[in-house]
Amino acid sequence: MCGIVGYYGKRNVPEVVLNGLKTLEYRGYDSSGMAFAGKNGLSIIKSVGKIKELEEKFKNNPINGTVGIGHSRWATHGVPSEVNAHPHIDCKNKIAVVHNGIIENFMELKNELIAKGHKFVSDTDTEVIVHLIEDNYTDNFEEAFKKSVPLLRGAFAIAVICADCPDTIFFARMKSPLVIGIGRGETFLASDVVAFLDYAREVVYIDNGQLGFIKKGKISMFDFDGNPIKYKTSMVLWDAEMAKKNGYKYFMLKEIYEQPECLAKTINGTIRNNDFYLPNFNIPVEHLKKIRRISIVACGTAYHAGFLGKYFIEELAKLPVDIDVASEFIYREPIISDDTLFIAISQSGETADTKEAVVKARKFGVKTVAVTNVVGSSITREVDGVIYTNAGFEKGVAATKSFTTQVLVMYVIALYLAKIREMISEETLLEYISELSSISQKIEIILQHKNIENIKMIARMYQNCRDFLFLGRNVNYPLALEGALKLKEISYIHAEGYAAGEMKHGPIALIDENCPVVVIMTKSKLYEKVISNVKEVAARKGLVIGIASEGDDTAKTVVKNLIKIPDASPYVSAILSVIPLQLLSYYIADVRGCDIDQPRNLAKSVTVE
Ligand code: M6R
């Protein structure tokens, strides 16, 4: 989704802004632009398409300034075009604004401003901000900014510069992320810390309802009523290396390979000395003992992790679990009693629907917990407790390591609740906990050369198929959904995930000799039933690709292509089985020549509803 960069400091300003925009490319965008203010006034450059096109344009028209702002736009109001790309400027060409989010009252404001004589050139909601500030600006720009921001409704992170104050960047936030980076003699503003990780690790997370300015590097912050605010700084633990590809063709592949390490870190962040270690969970054990229901909400891949959590919690902790996609949850009439524990899962912690779901859940007086990967993200400020997934910075749009670490955290939550509710013996609990230490090594086995070559071969075989089906039962059903999502988002092949037992109720009609069917058929209590489902597919000439446990001799007799994973409990197997699904999607997309890290129309984190 849209990205913002701002810079004041001793370096070459356009270079820093451009580099920041390049780092934010992973968020997804369709056009970009930069504005600089300096002794020659305000200068702007914009382009449609990739940042490299903006860079080319800039080379032919090198503009500069003492402060700069940049933006990558993911179109909401108005088609991707230069006119609609940010920055937007006022009628006198003095003020420039970049904005993430949606201004809900833009039509109302626009009509008022047009009536006052302002000329609008774009179809965007953003342009209203700059004319509004212009309208309030007589002699004090700071006051004009402070007066204008509270008049905006909706979600916004904005950065503004003005030719009359070429040493200052103005900013404001309501619901869309914005963070300040403090370097040595230089200050950054961005929608995401990765934009400045190369230069600064000390950060100030701007909160909802805060505005301010960075003047000659000095930060001043206020609430929307103009009252000064003391801000806190914190240190980012991620390093800039995480935002680099390190020789991998795509970030997605690098992140698939990082999973053994990430999972080890997540285990270390949740379990120590064979006991639970949940330092930010903040829900008292006495309260947890009284919990009678769990409600889980998330979007996309995070929803699939939550769906697995439902199986884990119901089976291990014997608690009923509701699971919803956040965009549905926020607009239905859920019945939530105060003995419910609400869990929101979000890698970024910035997904608008998931954040709104937390706000809605809180109205029922329930305790809320976030499972997220990003320290300081918006969701962490909305909930009672947090469990971090410790996956490190995930740049590939297709979620990989965030998924496996989320699944692991859901498993830890299930075991923790099982222990508190005395639904598990000490011995079994220790057995499950000790199994966790083997996960990383088992994933390393899946990532061995011969296994990768097998998956590549399968990818080449099926690269031109039009449709794929993914099947699984029990914990392998959410994995079938995740496998299908991964394939469609990066390879653009149509794919559907189904509960294998549902096949005969409709989808089996799709099976023919051109339809690959990926079946997750690892050893489980439903194994025999899955084998029957595989036979049903094979009898209709379907091309079965099976993901099975090592040592399973039946599997190879019933499937066309087999991918083996190390044997494990069904819970750990759920984490292992997704790795071949990620790899299969990756290699199919790669052989089809797709831009894997920047799939069309997708944004890494969806910060608008
Ligand atoms: O940051 P979040 O976990 O809240 O993001 C949720 C989804 O947007 C995300 O998982 C999306 O489905 C991914 N592109 C899947 O690969």
Domains and CATH numbers, the chain: 3-242 (3.60.20.10), 245-437 (3.40.50.10490), 446-597 (3.40.50.10490)
Calculate how far, in angstroms, residue 301's C-alpha sits from the geometric centre of ligand 1.
5
Calculate how far, in angstroms, residue 185's C-alpha sits from the geometric centre of ligand 1.
36
Tell me the C-alpha distance between 594 and 599, whole Å.
Answer: 7
Whole-number pLDDT of residue 76: 76
133: exposed, middle or buried (Cβ count in 10 Å: 0-12, 13-18, 19+): buried
100-110: b (≥16 Cβ within 10 Å) or e: bbbbeebeebb
* Positions of the chain with pLDDT lower than 50, given as ranges: none
Residues 6+ apart with CB under 8 A from 325: 297, 298, 299, 303, 353
- Pair 223, 209: CB distance under 8 Å: yes
Whole-number pLDDT of residue 477: 97
**Ligand 1 pocket mutation pick from 74, 299, 578, 601 by most atoms within 8 angstroms of CB:** 299
Whole-number pLDDT of residue 481: 98
Whole-number pLDDT of residue 246: 80
Q: pTM of the predicted model, to two decimals?
A: 0.83
Residues 6+ apart with CB under 8 A from 95: 42, 89, 130, 133, 134, 137, 160, 161, 162, 163
Whole-number pLDDT of residue 604: 78
CA 44: distance to chain centroid? 30
Tell me the C-alpha distance between 405 and 92, whole Å.
Answer: 51
Whole-number pLDDT of residue 603: 77
Count of all residues that appear for the chain in the document: 609
C-alpha distance from residue 404 to each of 256, 337, 385, 414, 569 (Å): 10, 30, 21, 15, 15
Whole-number pLDDT of residue 236: 86
Whole-number pLDDT of residue 585: 98
Tell me the C-alpha distance between 608 and 85, whole Å.
Answer: 17
Whole-number pLDDT of residue 402: 97
Helices (H) and strands (E) in the chain, counts: 19, 26
DSSP state at residue 423: -
- Pair 24, 191: CB distance under 8 Å: yes
Which helix H or strand E contains 234, and what residues bound it? strand 234-235
**Ligand 1 pocket mutation pick from 479, 605, 608 by most atoms within 8 angstroms of CB:** 605
Tell me the C-alpha distance between 577 and 404, whole Å.
Answer: 10
3-state DSSP assignment of residue 199: coil
Calculate how far, in angstroms, residue 304's C-alpha sits from the geometric centre of ligand 1.
10
Say what the alpha-carbon torsion angle 164, 169, 173, 176 is, to the nearest 10 degrees.
Answer: 120
Residues 6+ apart with CB under 8 A from 431: none
| Ligand 1, CB within 6 Å, residue ranges | 299-302, 346-348, 351, 354, 397-399, 489, 602, 605-606
Q: Which structure tokens are listed for 513?
A: 């000799």
Calculate how far, in angstroms, residue 576's C-alpha sits from the geometric centre of ligand 1.
20
What is the gyration radius of the CA atoms in the chain, in angstroms? Answer: 25
Whole-number pLDDT of residue 194: 87
